[in-house]
């Protein structure tokens, strides 16, 4: 300590102001309030960003347990040579699994309950290469989706809303062209007029298909659990009136390489193909999460800024209290720059102390959110996350040390900026004026 410059020694002494007088005690109290404010702001920002990171990661994981990393479509509308295309896709070193699929939409009906559904036709023996659905079955069997068996696997929320369990019968309604002349009576009528004003009409009418529930899966993502259903690839082709799969679904070794791999596959595979990666499928959702994180960082950084600028009042009071000592230091030869350093050291140390306490508190809470939040919910009888809205029901947390570093840096920087004006005013103090009434 004795080897430190005198500016540091005096700054440390002022930071540890004793209680020799009521004025010193009050200044120390204000310093403690500043430390506490910075600490709480830093801790709050770390916890909030960790929860948002955890939310994004958890939803992404559950989403990608059902969604393919890359989907490949043929411009012709179907892919009769899908086996050859699958071999071409596997030549890319990032590709770990390939499976064909057909996707359509319909309405599932059970008695007087009707729910919309996305119906995906798959090969059960290959689907495990590109999704986790077979391992998410909570009742029944995914392997029961045999060609021509008219069996269906439903998401847990979808099955619950329809009042279905394994073995129950359910009706799937899909759209089909109405016979000529019946569009206006039974469906949505469309017409193309002729020169004479007369026209022929065609329409859309529902076509029922009987299925038996063979299994129920739970991905943990409400959007999929409440809308997704699986049938065999052959049954889906029959529902969609196509003779081949719609395309291929791919799983990669690195999910974040999907955009790059999609471009590579577009250039290496033959035919007129369209590639879509998982980030494009949910682009709006991911952009919204990133926007929320940025806005939350700015909003909570304001709390740190308010606490940091409390240092201004603390240092101004310290300068007025220590002006006689400052005058003596100036008389002994201390430069204005040295006087500035004294109070900058004091303010920066207060900010650094608050930041370190806040980081410790924030990291501790962020790493134990899974324990703390359920305890609060149990004590107060509340539930913070409704899975119908947030897709997940438990509070996740993912601490990223890069966020901790950025938050700590911002807090110390704001504390340093808050020291500039009081330090400058202390450096401008005239020794004669300060000592006149001493």
The DSSP-derived string for 286-322 is HHHHHHHHHHHHHHHHHHHHHHHHHHHHHHHHHHHHT
Rounded CA-CA distance 365/359 in Å is 10
Place of tokens 């016979």: 179
pLDDT, mean of residues 344-370: 90
CA dihedral for 232, 238, 241, 242, sign (positive or negative)? positive
User: What's the chain's average pLDDT?
Assistant: 82
Alpha-carbon distance of 225 to 337, in angstroms, equals 66
Helices (H) and strands (E) in the chain, counts: 17, 11
Identify the weakest region by mean pLDDT among 35-49, 275-289, 340-354, 388-402: 388-402
pLDDT band at 1 (very low <50, low <70, confident <90, very high): low
Percentage of the chain exceeding pLDDT 70: 85
pLDDT greater than 90 at residue 358: yes
Here the tokens at position 388 are 């119908």
CA atoms of 80 and 77, how far apart (whole Å): 10
pTM: 0.67
Residues in the chain, overall count? 438
pLDDT tens figures, 49-99: 998 888 888 877 777 788 889 999 988 888 999 999 999 999 999 999 999
Q: Residue 415 above 50 pLDDT?
A: yes
The values of phi and psi at residue 327, to 5°, are: -65, -40
260 close to 277: Cβ distance less than 8 angstroms: no
Q: Which helix (H) or strand (E) holds 381?
A: none
């Amino acid at each position: 300590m004795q080897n430190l410059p005198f500016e540091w020694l005096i700054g440390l002494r002022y930071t540890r102001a004793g209680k020799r007088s009521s004025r010193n005690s009050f200044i120390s109290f204000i310093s403690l309030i500043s430390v506490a404010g910075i600490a709480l702001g830093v801790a709050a920002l770390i916890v909030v960003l960790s929860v948002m990171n955890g939310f994004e990661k958890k939803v992404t994981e559950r989403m990608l347990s059902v969604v393919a990393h890359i989907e490949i479509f043929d411009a012709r509308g179907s892919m009769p040579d899908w086996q050859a295309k699958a071999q071409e896709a596997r030549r890319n070193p990032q590709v770990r699994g390939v499976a064909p699929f057909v996707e359509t939409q319909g309405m599932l009906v059970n008695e007087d309950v009707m729910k919309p559904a996305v119906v995906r036709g798959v090969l059960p023996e290959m689907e495990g290469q590109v999704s986790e659905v077979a391992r998410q079955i909570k009742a029944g069997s995914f392997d029961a989706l045999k060609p021509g068996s008219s069996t269906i696997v439903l998401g847990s929320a979808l099955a619950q809303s329809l009042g279905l369990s394994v073995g129950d019968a359910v009706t799937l309604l899909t759209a089909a062209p109405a016979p000529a002349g019946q569009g206006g009576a039974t469906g949505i009528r469309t017409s193309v007029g002729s020169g004479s004003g007369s026209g022929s009409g065609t329409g859309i009418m529902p076509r029922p298909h009987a299925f038996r529930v063979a299994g129920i899966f739970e991905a943990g993502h409400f959007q999929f659990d409440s809308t997704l259903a699986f049938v065999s690839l052959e049954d889906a082709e029959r529902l969609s009136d196509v003779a081949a799969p719609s395309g291929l679904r791919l799983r990669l070794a690195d999910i974040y390489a999907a955009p790059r791999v999609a471009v590579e596959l577009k250039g290496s595979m033959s035919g007129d193909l369209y590639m879509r990666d998982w980030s494009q499928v949910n682009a709006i959702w991911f952009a919204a999460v990133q926007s929320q994180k940025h806005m939350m960082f700015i909003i909570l950084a304001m709390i740190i800024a308010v606490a940091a600028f409390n240092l201004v009042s603390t240092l101004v009071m310290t300068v007025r209290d220590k002006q006689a000592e400052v005058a003596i230091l100036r008389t002994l030869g201390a430069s204005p720059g040295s006087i500035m350093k004294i109070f900058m050291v004091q303010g920066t140390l207060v900010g650094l102390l608050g930041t370190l306490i806040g980081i410790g508190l924030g990291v501790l809470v962020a790493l134990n959110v899974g324990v703390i939040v359920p305890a609060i919910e149990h004590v107060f009888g509340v539930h913070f996350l409704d899975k119908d809205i947030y897709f997940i029901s438990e509070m996740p947390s993912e601490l990223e040390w890069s966020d901790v570093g950025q938050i700590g840096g911002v807090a110390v920087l704001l504390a340093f900026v808050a020291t500039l004006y009081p330090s400058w005013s202390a450096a401008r103090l005239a020794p004669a004026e300060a000592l006149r009434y001493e």
